[in-house]
Amino acid sequence: MDSFPVVKNILLLDSEGKRVAVKYYSDDWPTNSAKLAFEKSLFAKTMKSNARTEAEITMFDSNIVIYKFVQDLHFYVTGGEDENELILAAVLQGFFDSVSLLLRSNVDKREALENLDLIFLCLDEIVERGMILETDANVIAGKVAVNSMDPTAPLSEQTIGQALATAREHLTRTLFQ
């Protein structure tokens, strides 16, 4: 039986190697201190590379790591040494592109911290327990936008999709009360 690709972690670090958003899907790092040590070592190894124009790949601690830097953010996806690099790169690109869509192309640490809930929702839509669910940024951003909308916000402040969902919800409540 063929196994499916597995992601061990997805990391979003700042330009100093500090956590912005991280999700671990593997027990390879059982403690928080082990996770922090991995992040620090990985950042130290990759910080001097030129991964700004396109994603880079490296072997690190018997893992394949695909990474990309944008402004003051460092995006990483880690898989086992036998994982397909192209699939891991698709996960990284899906994560980066969906964050970029949701942050309206203003991808920097300040925006990321202000919209941390959206970033974690992206991670939840992309990978669950290590299994890759989705890599299409438009699908991911669409699901995140629907899950994060505030139904009590005035219609003038909602996107068309949010307004339609709110109207549908209101209509459903009205019809079935």
What pLDDT is recorded for position 163? 54
Task: Tell me the CATH number at 72.
Answer: 3.30.450.60
Q: Is residue 33 part of a domain?
A: yes
172, part of any domain: no
Q: What is the pLDDT of residue 155?
A: 47
Mean of all residue pLDDT scores within the chain:
85
Q: Which residue has the tokens 């003051």?
A: 72
Half-sphere exposure of 32 (CA within 13 A, CB side): 1
* CA separation for the pair 21, 108 (Å, rounded): 13
Q: What's the domain count of the chain? A: 1
pLDDT at 98: 92
Neighbours of 110 (CB within 10 A): 10
> How confident is the model at residue 83, as a pLDDT?
93
Give the residue numbers spanning the domain of 28: 7-151
CB-based burial of residue 151 (10 Å sphere; 0-12 exposed, 13-18 middle, 19+ buried)? exposed
Q: What angle do CA 32, 35, 36 make, to 5 degrees?
A: 85
Question: 34-91 pLDDT, tens per residue?
Answer: 999 999 999 999 988 887 778 999 999 999 999 999 999 999 999 999 999 999 999 9
The 10s digit of each residue's pLDDT in 137-175 is: 888 888 888 766 555 555 455 555 555 566 666 666 666
77 within a domain of the structure (yes/no): yes
Tell me the pTM. 0.80
Residue 139 lies in a domain: yes
Contacts 24+ apart (CB under 8 A), 83-92: 83/5, 83/6, 84/5, 85/57, 87/5, 87/132, 88/5, 88/7, 88/64, 89/55, 89/57, 90/135, 91/7, 91/10, 91/66, 91/126, 91/127, 91/132, 91/135, 92/55, 92/66, 92/67, 92/68
Q: Are 69 and 55 in contact (CB under 8 A)?
A: no
